[in-house]
């Protein structure tokens, strides 16, 4: 191959040379990609000078962001997400070459209608801006957003995202041409920040001069931006121009109640993997709707690896706007896959299939859309989003109950539509099992199976039998008349109808959100002793249960089979458990009950596992550190029934009431399955069982009600 190899640090891009190099040798978990376009970044310049925080050992090929075609799949994978010929984009060290190797977790399918040049500049800028504005700042319709350096790569992405969410955008830049570019990408107002009075100008552009609600700052203008930020405003700290760290007058932050919010997108894959999935789903939705377009610099073309130094110099000299991408033509007759049969992937299909993997994050899961069993094709997806779509049966949920129901209904040729949700209840599609690790008590898997893998298999089985799966959250339903009406979160004004509905929205375990909880969740912390108690990390260890009711007593008794000792923390001075359960608990030789005691902080060891729990006596205020290798919450669950509140009968705890021995609810034609109606067992296998029951009940109902009345209701 040909590429730009760095054997020693250089003073600048002008010293970079293109040479002939050996082809990269992919590891067993890596793809080999034919590079068709490579994007430039400021950190590329820092890296070749030895000034970046991540410096590979010499010699290394420079560049990190690319788009191209898959030449070879990982040798160690029996079922690769991206077949040979797939058009992909992503990030991996060595992008400034004709070939690059990359792991599956760093690849995504190129959006429909986008060239590889367009896609090459998407991987870094788009999620950074989306994560900042949507995840961190909560941008919404009516907000006034100030985007600094708005003609830059992340700036143009921010302008488009803010506009897509209904915000008014004020864009700043340093030249007339860049201001025009920002305007062309949707900015409502543009301001030259070379003008010393720009904060005053910005403030005057806001309603009643109150200031902006959100500041998006990738260059280091936080202190000056406080002058034009509204009360309760948020300032997003995205980066610093030339690495200069500014000082901020904190009195202005205090007086205006301003929140300073950082965004380090690269670390989300380490600390919040599920957020990465949600962000890419959101981006692909905007692309599919035409609300986000490529931001590639088009004033001048850079063609060939030899032009990469020129592109980097132009980027470093602030001569460009948007994303500077270099085309990488393949040698005559050498590019085997210029127009692969899978050249385009419908972006809504991408949105539907994107999810996290059992082993961590694999944003590349969307590539399952290439498989033959994928049921939703572009034309079908257009039908799904069409107003007044009618289905015989709709399933709301994404866990074992939902997919079991889908399998049975699909085999009955009822063509079920399953709404798996978009981070519904704060959980990725697949439900609670996506947040756990290995499952050992689900029949058919003698060696255990990861929670995410189990849900992936269930989903694949649903699809096999014709289930249409939609990654949108059902936001409202009208159960007052048949056919029932419902609308989604993304299209609240568009209603669809169904003759029957299966509610399988689940329940979420309550958590205390103690310091250290997120870090050690599933690395010592759980909300289900029956699910996780037998895991090796808990065997013969000191375990803690928090709670004072029957559930806490049952979980503590169960854990005595595995732990060396179990401590139960009860906030009050007595147990809420029944007399018999309290008696058993208090008299068990392996159990200690500590009254008037609460958890304060979770601590861990160098292996990343929980090792201690700081507790506090609520009467004296005294704190103590306990040895604890496991912490189990038994403080209750919250069923996801807000959607049907006031329409279906629920019990005092919010669970849907079903007719004993069935899944029939108080409304004829509506069925409930899984944890949304099960406050006792709450197991994957029992959820699957009730999913089967709901499908059979729904099938019987539909066969008895062939005639569908006219659409009525209140939605």
Q: Which of 107-111, 142-146, 352-356 has the largest mean confidence?
A: 142-146
Token readout for 8 is 């020693």
Residue 713: pLDDT band by 50, 70, 90 thresholds? low
Residue with tokens 């147990």: 575
Q: Which SS3 state, helix, strand or coil, does residue 414 take?
A: coil
Q: Is the pLDDT of residue 345 over 60?
A: no
Terminal CA-CA length for the chain:
61
Pure H helices in 289-415: 308-316, 347-353, 378-384, 400-411
Region of poorest pLDDT, from 233-237, 423-427, 512-516: 423-427
Residue with tokens 């007058």: 249
pLDDT in tens, 305-338: 999 999 999 998 888 999 999 999 976 334 443 3
d(CA 169, CA 186): 8
Cβ burial, residue 413 (10 Å; 0-12/13-18/19+): exposed
pLDDT of residue 354: 37
Per-residue DSSP letters for 517-578? HHHHBTTTEES-HHHHTTSGGGTTSEEEEE--SHHHHHHHHHHTTTSSEEEEEESSSS--S-
6 vs 509, residue with greater confidence: 6
pLDDT of residue 88: 96
pLDDT in tens, 586-645: 999 999 999 999 999 999 988 889 999 999 999 999 999 999 999 999 888 889 998 999
Residues above pLDDT 90, as percent of the chain: 68
Q: Is the pLDDT of residue 536 over 50?
A: yes
d(CA 129, CA 169): 14
Region of poorest pLDDT, from 390-394, 430-434, 480-484: 430-434
240 vs 232, residue with greater confidence: 232
pLDDT of residue 714: 56
pLDDT of residue 377: 35
d(CA 511, CA 249): 37
Count of other CB atoms within 10 angstroms of residue 262: 10
DSSP designation for 679: S
d(CA 599, CA 547): 11
Measured at the CA of 197, the angle between CA 194 and CA 203, to 5 degrees, comes to 115
Residues 6+ apart with CB under 8 A from 703: none
pLDDT of residue 245: 73
Q: Give yes or no for a cis peptide into 483 (omega within 30° of 0).
A: yes
Q: Is the pLDDT of residue 132 over 70?
A: yes
Q: From the candidates 118, 213, 528, 675, give the one annotated as an active-site residue.
A: 528
Q: CA–CA distance from 546 to each of 389, 565, 590 (Å)?
A: 47, 14, 16
8 Å CB contact between 657 and 677: yes
Residue 623: half-sphere exposure toward Cβ, Cα within 13 Å? 8
Residue with tokens 């790569």: 153
pLDDT in tens, 57-112: 999 999 999 999 999 999 998 878 888 999 999 999 999 999 999 999 899 999 98
Task: Identify whether 532 is a catalytic site residue.
Answer: yes
Nearest CA to 435 among 375, 355, 350, 336? Answer: 355
Region of poorest pLDDT, from 332-346, 454-468, 582-596: 332-346
Token readout for 422 is 């978009």
d(CA 648, CA 671): 10
8 Å CB contact between 154 and 238: yes
Average pLDDT score over residue span 487-513: 88
pLDDT of residue 434: 67
Average pLDDT score over residue span 426-450: 76
Average pLDDT score over residue span 470-483: 90
Q: Is the pLDDT of residue 117 over 50?
A: yes
Cβ burial, residue 598 (10 Å; 0-12/13-18/19+): middle
Phi, psi (degrees; rounded to nearest 5) at 155: -65, -50
Phi, psi (degrees; rounded to nearest 5) at 2: -115, 145
Q: From the candidates 531, 675, 678, 697, give the one annotated as an active-site residue.
A: 531
Cβ burial 185-200 (10 Å sphere, 16+ → b, else e): bbbbbbbebeeeebbe
Task: Identify whether 228 is a catalytic site residue.
Answer: no
Measured at the CA of 437, the angle between CA 434 and CA 441, to 5 degrees, comes to 100
Region of poorest pLDDT, from 195-204, 264-273, 432-441: 432-441
pLDDT of residue 422: 60
Measured at the CA of 400, the angle between CA 397 and CA 405, to 5 degrees, comes to 70
Q: Is the pLDDT of residue 498 over 90?
A: yes
Q: Is the pLDDT of residue 699 over 60?
A: yes
d(CA 72, CA 336): 12
d(CA 327, CA 332): 15
Residue 351: pLDDT band by 50, 70, 90 thresholds? very low
d(CA 258, CA 256): 5
pLDDT of residue 677: 95
Token readout for 45 is 């310049």
DSSP designation for 323: B
Q: Is the pLDDT of residue 443 over 60?
A: yes
d(CA 359, CA 399): 19
pLDDT of residue 241: 57
8 Å CB contact between 490 and 397: no
Q: CA–CA distance from 518 to each of 83, 136, 570 (Å)?
A: 35, 17, 22
Residue with tokens 């007339």: 176
8 Å CB contact between 543 and 567: yes
pLDDT of residue 341: 31
33 vs 317, residue with greater confidence: 33
Q: Is the pLDDT of residue 348 over 50?
A: no
Residue with tokens 């010592």: 524
Average pLDDT, the chain: 87
Residue with tokens 């990030």: 91
Cβ burial, residue 297 (10 Å; 0-12/13-18/19+): buried
pLDDT of residue 563: 94
377 vs 685, residue with greater confidence: 685
Q: From the candidates 532, 675, 678, 697, give the one annotated as an active-site residue.
A: 532
8 Å CB contact between 479 and 667: yes
């Amino acid at each position: 191959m040909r590429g730009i190899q760095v054997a020693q640090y250089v003073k600048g891009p002008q010293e970079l040379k293109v040479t002939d190099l050996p082809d990269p040798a992919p590891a067993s978990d890596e793809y080999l990609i034919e590079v068709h376009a490579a994007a430039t970044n400021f950190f590329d310049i820092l890296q070749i000078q030895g000034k970046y925080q991540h410096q590979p050992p010499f010699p290394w090929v420079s560049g990190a962001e690319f788009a191209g075609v898959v030449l070879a799949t990982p040798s160690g994978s029996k079922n690769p997400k991206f077949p040979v010929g797939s058009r992909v984009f992503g990030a991996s060290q060595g992008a400034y070459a004709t070939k690059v190797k990359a792991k599956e977790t760093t690849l995504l399918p190129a959006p429909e209608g986008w060239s590889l040049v367009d896609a090459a500049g998407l991987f870094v800028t788009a999620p950074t801006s989306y994560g900042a504005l949507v995840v961190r700042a909560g941008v919404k319709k009516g907000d006034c957003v100030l985007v600094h350096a708005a003609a830059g790569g992340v700036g143009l992405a921010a302008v488009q995202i803010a506009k897509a969410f209904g915000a008014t955008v004020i864009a700043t830049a340093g030249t007339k041409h860049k201001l025009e570019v920002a305007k062309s990408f949707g900015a409502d107002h543009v301001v030259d920040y070379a003008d010393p009075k720009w904060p005053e100008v910005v403030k005057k552009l806001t309603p009643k001069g109150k200031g902006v609600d959100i500041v998006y700052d990738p260059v280091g203008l936080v202190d000056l931006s406080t002058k034009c930020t509204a009360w309760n405003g948020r300032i997003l700290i995205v980066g610093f121009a030339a690495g200069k760290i500014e000082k901020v007058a904190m009195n202005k932050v205090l007086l205006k109640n301003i929140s300073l919010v950082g965004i380090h997108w690269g670390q989300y894959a380490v600390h919040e993997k599920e957020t990465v999935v949600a962000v890419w789903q959101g981006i692909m939705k905007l692309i599919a709707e035409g609300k986000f377009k490529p931001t590639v610099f088009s004033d001048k073309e850079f063609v060939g690896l030899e032009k990469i130094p020129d592109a980097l110099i132009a980027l470093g000299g602030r001569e460009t706007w948007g994303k500077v991408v270099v085309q990488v033509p393949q040698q005559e007759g050498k590019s085997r896959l210029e127009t692969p049969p899978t050249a385009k992937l419908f972006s809504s299909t991408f949105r539907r299939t994107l999810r996290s993997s059992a082993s961590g994050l694999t944003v590349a899961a969307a590539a399952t859309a290439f498989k033959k069993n994928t049921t939703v094709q572009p034309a079908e997806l257009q039908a799904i989003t069409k107003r007044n779509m009618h289905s015989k049966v709709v399933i709301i949920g994404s866990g074992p109950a939902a997919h079991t129901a889908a399998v049975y209904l699909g085999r009955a040729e009822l063509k079920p539509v399953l709404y798996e949700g978009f981070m519904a209840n704060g959980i990725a599609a697949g439900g609670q099992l996506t947040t756990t690790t290995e499952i050992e008590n689900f029949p058919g898997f003698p060696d255990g199976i990861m929670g995410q893998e189990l849900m992936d298999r269930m989903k694949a089985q649903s699809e096999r039998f014709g289930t249409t799966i939609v990654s949108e959250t059902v936001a409202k339903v009208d159960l007052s008349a048949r056919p029932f009406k419902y609308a989604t979160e993304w299209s609240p004004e568009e209603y669809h109808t169904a003759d029957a509905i299966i509610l399988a929205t689940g329940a979420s375990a309550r958590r205390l959100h103690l310091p250290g909880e997120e870090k050690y969740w599933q690395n010592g912390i759980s909300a289900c002793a029956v699910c996780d108690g037998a895991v090796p990390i808990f065997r013969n260890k000191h375990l803690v249960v928090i709670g004072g009711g029957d559930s806490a007593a049952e979980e503590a008794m169960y854990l005595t089979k595995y732990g060396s000792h179990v401590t139960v923390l009860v906030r009050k001075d007595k147990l809420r458990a029944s007399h018999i359960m309290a008696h058993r608990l208090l008299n068990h030789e392996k159990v200690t009950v500590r009254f008037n005691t609460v958890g304060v902080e979770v601590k861990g060891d160098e292996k990343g596992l929980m090792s201690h729990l700081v507790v506090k006596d609520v009467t004296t205020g005294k704190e103590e550190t306990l040895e604890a290798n496991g912490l189990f919450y038994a403080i209750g669950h919250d069923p996801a029934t807000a959607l049907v509140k006031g329409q279906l009968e629920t019990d005092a705890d919010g669970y849907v009431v079903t007719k004993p021995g069935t899944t029939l609810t108080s409304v004829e034609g509506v069925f409930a399955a899984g944890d949304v109606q099960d406050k006792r067992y709450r197991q994957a296998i029992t959820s699957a069982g009730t999913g089967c029951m709901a499908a059979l009940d729904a099938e019987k109902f539909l066969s008895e009600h062939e005639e569908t009345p006219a659409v009525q209701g209140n939605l």
